Amino acid sequence: MSTESLVVTEFARHFPAAALLPAAAGERSVRVELAESREDLQAAQRLRYTVFAREMGARLHNRIPGLDHDRFDPYCQHLIVRDALDEVVGCTRILTAPAAQRAGGFYSQTEFDLTPILALPGRFMEIGRTCVRADYRNGATINALWSGLAAFITVHQIDYLIGCASIPLGEHGLAVQILYAELARRHLVAESLRVKPYLPLSRSDGPVPPRCAMPPLLKAYLRLGAQIGGEPCLDPDFQVADVFILLPTERIERRYARHFLDRDQ
């Protein structure tokens, strides 16, 4: 059995992929699983293209029409959420530290100097390219993704989950600066762990804009106990500011293990 097959089998032991997750009233049932085939991966990449390029207007550097893909995809495990019709309605990708070594680093390292973070003892995994189809942006789909991630964390005994959370720039990026200042007061890592963006967000002056709404993914990270690694990085292709996220998984274990994995903690 291949290493990838062993990962999928062990994941399924902790979280049976065929089981439909219970949904709240008015929500449709979904299930979560790891991609096992090229077709599974392309379904996730097709959803990413729909959300990022068509909906958000991101400038993608794809070579295959209709798919969002990059050099990190072949090294990632791809977590997908399917509905009752077997369509992929949500996805995220997982890059473990050993796979990141083969890929030449984590995706986050293309935006930030992670030297102080990666010096921490323990096992890392990065998530990214998270998206959900517009008509499935509800609690059931988000819970499915986090349940799958929790199972993966358990299988691989991960100590730290890392990634980038995006904030739309708005006009001149001033709203991002205001939101970041608010978040930094409560969620910033210790100074010794701060990361440096390679493309810092330019300081802007002007009338104070309305408060920027917190993106759902960033809100989910913070609710789980994540911290922000430092100043945001500009992503000109997506027209967003990315903040680096550090989440010690012991916080997920303590607060969500019973809910996601039926484990006594």
Instruction: Dump pLDDT digits (tens) for 183-211.
Output: 999 999 999 999 999 999 887 665 556 66
d(CA 29, CA 79) in angstroms, rounded, equals: 17
The per-residue pLDDT of the chain, averaged, comes to 85
Alpha helices in 95-187 (DSSP H): 97-103, 115-118, 139-156, 174-187
Domain count, the chain: 1
Q: What pLDDT was estimated at residue 220?
A: 85
Would 63 be classed as within a structural domain? yes
Supply the CATH number for residue 53's domain: 3.40.630.30
Task: Determine, yes or no, domain membership for 178.
Answer: no
In a domain, 203, yes or no: no
pLDDT at 223: 86
| Domain annotation covers residue 125 | yes
Q: Is residue 264 part of a domain?
A: no
Residue 166 lies in a domain: no
Give me the domain span that covers residue 120: 3-104+112-161
Q: Which are the contacts of 244, defined by CB distance < 8 A and separation ≥ 6? A: 108, 111, 112, 114, 117, 162, 163, 164, 195, 228, 229, 230, 233
Q: Is the pTM of this model over 0.75?
A: yes
* pLDDT tens figures, 213-238: 788 889 888 988 899 999 999 999 99
Tens of pLDDT, residues 140-163: 888 889 889 988 998 899 999 999
Of the listed ranges 64-68, 108-112, 252-256, the one predicted with least confidence: 252-256
The answer to whether residue 50 is domain-embedded is yes
Neighbours of 257 (CB within 10 A): 16
Domain membership flag for residue 184: no
